[in-house]
A and B are shown apart, each in its own frame.
Chain A
Amino acid sequence: MRWQALVSLGVLKGMGVTLKTFLETYPWGRGLLRTLRIPPTNGLVTVQYPDVKQQHAERFRYFPFLVYDKTPDDLRCVACKICEQECPPQCIHIVGPAKDAQGRPLKAHGRTFPVAFDIDMSICMSCRICVDVCPFDAIEMDNQYELSSSGRWEPMVYDKAKLLKSAEYFQQIKPAEASEVDARLAAKAKKAAPPPT
């Protein structure tokens, strides 16, 4: 008979697994399993999301930001437009570098700078290619991820003011990567500086 074959050893064994997993999600159940000397495996693995947040990895990336060094006008970006060109979904839009009335490039802290730097958050796919290609380490990935909003244009298109974040902030969220970048920039500054006379 077909039904006899159904309820037998294999099914009972499977039910044993589900029972064990069920018990492991409760403190008393874990105690019971300990008393019976059954080795524990997983326990409860989920968290109650908006109330409890899981720690994400240091490298976790979500949306780019522009790094400035000391004051917000001292940004590392020189408006070379490499990231705009290489961005796979083409979500970066740069106007610049800034020029004066005669068409000569304006400089702030010895560098050219962009007039406008917009990133469309709804198009960005968090791939990190802009960070890889930037020769000046001016753009980095942020780890803020709760960026939803109800409007399409105003809140979603991040302009220069909204994208600017300090180097200290970068150091704070990604210490390993930031130290690497700082070392690279220091080496570059040393090379560029005129030899002492």
Chain B
Amino acid sequence: MELKPATASMATELLEVSLGPQHPSTHGVFRMQATLDGETIVKLKPVMGYLHRNHEQIGEHTTYIASFPFTDRLDYFCAMSNNFGLALAIEKLGGVPASERGEYLRVIMAELTRLVNHTAVIGFLLNDMGAFGTPLLYAFREREKILDLFEEASGSRMMCNYVRPGGVRQDVPPGWLDRARTLVRGYPLFLDEFEALLTENEIIRQRAQQVGILPKALAVSASVTGPMLRASGVNYDIRKVDGYSIYPRFSFKIPLGTVGDVYDRYYVRILEMRESVKILEQALKEINDASPSISPKGLALVKAPRTFRPPKGEAYGRIEAPKGELGFYLVSDGTPQPYRYHVRAPSFINLTVLEDMCLNHKVADVIIILGSVDIVMGEVDR
């Protein structure tokens, strides 16, 4: 009898596989309905909504201030910058001026958050690639030092609830700025160590280069923002474009990728952390000790949230959160509660290009492509 090799004439069928929602590699309760031809992805449908907590509706039934602790729980890695975004929107809506020291403290907190987020996401990405544990734990070791600073200032490591319209809720404790300076001075050393471990590693290069390429045109048309957009080579950073808060005072560069693959998205984050360190150094040098940490109008708002009745109108406050453009859209009808409260979540919008990046790749590539998007389900589902 003659044995025939498996040929193209063999009748094959497409296989539908549900990746998630209960799987550690999906970064939360997220499901990918993948259609496979052998091991190649031919169709991929993201299924979300498992972590929906009615954030926007709750925001419409509480005062403006009471939404702050809920924003902590959107992207629970970046509580400080989430607070910052909502604070900017409320400031625009109600005409609350911000104090000088408050602005500096907010920028310091936001940039420390960027360090926290990018170190953690690189650790998780490497975890997805199969470098189990080591890079993630190195990242978490450094993240913990920043979280200690957050705890000293706000009282909580992750659910900070610290930034307020007009400044920050409490001034930082004595000696905090010096401890922050020491940390910022030491951070480039950690980044060097991290890069020695990862950047030139041939295994990572083989694994991540030319995988999950996001073309420039698609990134722009799908309104992808953040490090993902910049890894595709589009120079768009809201800190430069919008110049919110006091960012125009600092000099920093916007690192850009060239190819737009998983490796570029990793490397852009490393470079962004180095730029954040530069911003932090400048901010910690220039910070003014004399002015209060919150403006009088902001303080009145913190003490008595129900007396704050912004005039009828709308406002959109946006920041460059570590994951992309985080926007808060508020409509006021003159009552203490917002009439409409909407969150433009970067994780959610960056996820829309997942299928385009995954097509014609293998199942194992889907996991690292998802890891490089940097999503947090708390923010995707809200």
Query: A residues near B, CB below 8 A?
Result: 2, 5-11, 13-14, 16-18, 21, 41-42, 45, 56-61, 85-88, 125-129, 132-133, 135, 141, 176
Cα(A132)–Cα(B306), bound, Å: 13
Q: Is the CB of A128 within 8 A of B155?
A: yes
> Does B189 make an interface contact (CB < 8 A)?
yes
**Contact partner of B155 among A42, A45, A57, A135, CB < 8 A?**
A57
Cα(A18)–Cα(B193), bound, Å: 10
Q: Is the CB of A10 within 8 A of B201?
A: yes
CB of A6 to closest CB in B, whole Å: 5
> Does B70 make an interface contact (CB < 8 A)?
yes
CB of A43 to closest CB in B, whole Å: 10
Q: Is the CB of B303 within 8 A of A126?
A: no
- 17 new A-B pairs (CB below 8 Å) besides A11-B201, A17-B197? A8-B202, A10-B199, A11-B203, A13-B196, A18-B134, A41-B190, A42-B141, A57-B148, A61-B155, A61-B156, A86-B306, A88-B62, A88-B67, A127-B68, A127-B69, A128-B161, A176-B173
Cα(A9)–Cα(B65), bound, Å: 54
Interface string of B133-160 (1 = CB under 8 A from A): 0100010010010001001111110010
Closest 5 CB pairs of A and B: A127-B69, A10-B200, A61-B155, A59-B155, A88-B66
Q: Is the CB of B69 within 8 A of A125?
A: yes
Query: B residues near A, CB below 8 A?
Result: 62-63, 65-70, 72-73, 134, 138, 141, 144, 148, 151-156, 159, 161, 169-170, 173, 189-190, 193, 196-203, 205-206, 302-306
Note all chain B residues with C-beta closer than 8 A to A7: 202
Most A CB contacts (10 A, CB to CB) among B134, B159, B161, B202 go to B202
Note all chain A residues with C-beta closer than 8 A to B202: 5-8, 10-11
**A-B contact number at CB 8 A:** 98
**Contact partner of B151 among A6, A42, A59, CB < 8 A?**
A59
Q: Is the CB of B169 within 8 A of A132?
A: yes
What are 16 residue pairs bridging A and B, where the CB atoms are less than 8 Å apart in the complex?
A2-B206, A5-B202, A7-B202, A11-B202, A14-B198, A41-B189, A41-B193, A45-B144, A59-B152, A59-B154, A86-B65, A86-B66, A125-B73, A129-B69, A132-B302, A133-B305
Note all chain A residues with C-beta closer than 8 A to B73: 125
Q: Is the CB of B305 within 8 A of A141?
A: no
Report the nearest B residue to A18, measured CB to CB: B134
Q: Is the CB of A14 within 8 A of B197?
A: yes
Report the nearest A residue to B73, measured CB to CB: A125
Secondary structure of the B contact surface, majority rule: helix
Cα(A13)–Cα(B201), bound, Å: 8
Report the nearest B residue to A127, measured CB to CB: B69
Note all chain A residues with C-beta closer than 8 A to B190: 41
Cα(A42)–Cα(B134), bound, Å: 15
Cα(A14)–Cα(B200), bound, Å: 8
Report the nearest A residue to B304, measured CB to CB: A133
CB of B114 to closest CB in A, whole Å: 21
CB of B125 to closest CB in A, whole Å: 15
Q: With A60-B155, A129-B69 as given contacts, are A17 and B62 in contact (CB-CB < 8 Å)?
A: no
Report the nearest B residue to A42, measured CB to CB: B141
CB of B35 to closest CB in A, whole Å: 29
Report the nearest B residue to A13, measured CB to CB: B196
Cα(A2)–Cα(B205), bound, Å: 12
Note all chain B residues with C-beta closer than 8 A to A61: 155-156
CB of A11 to closest CB in B, whole Å: 6
CB of B270 to closest CB in A, whole Å: 14
Note all chain A residues with C-beta closer than 8 A to B152: 57-59
**Contact partner of A141 among B153, B155, B205, CB < 8 A?**
B155
Cα(A16)–Cα(B169), bound, Å: 44
Note all chain A residues with C-beta closer than 8 A to B141: 42, 45
Q: Is the CB of A127 within 8 A of B304?
A: no
Cα(A89)–Cα(B324), bound, Å: 28
Report the nearest B residue to A132, measured CB to CB: B302
Note all chain A residues with C-beta closer than 8 A to B70: 88
CB of B282 to closest CB in A, whole Å: 25
Cα(A55)–Cα(B308), bound, Å: 38
CB of A1 to closest CB in B, whole Å: 12
Q: Is the CB of B69 within 8 A of A88?
A: yes
Cα(A102)–Cα(B156), bound, Å: 46
Q: Is the CB of B173 within 8 A of A59?
A: yes
Most A CB contacts (10 A, CB to CB) among B65, B67, B72, B156 go to B156
Report the nearest A residue to B69, measured CB to CB: A127
Cα(A41)–Cα(B203), bound, Å: 26
CB of B83 to closest CB in A, whole Å: 11
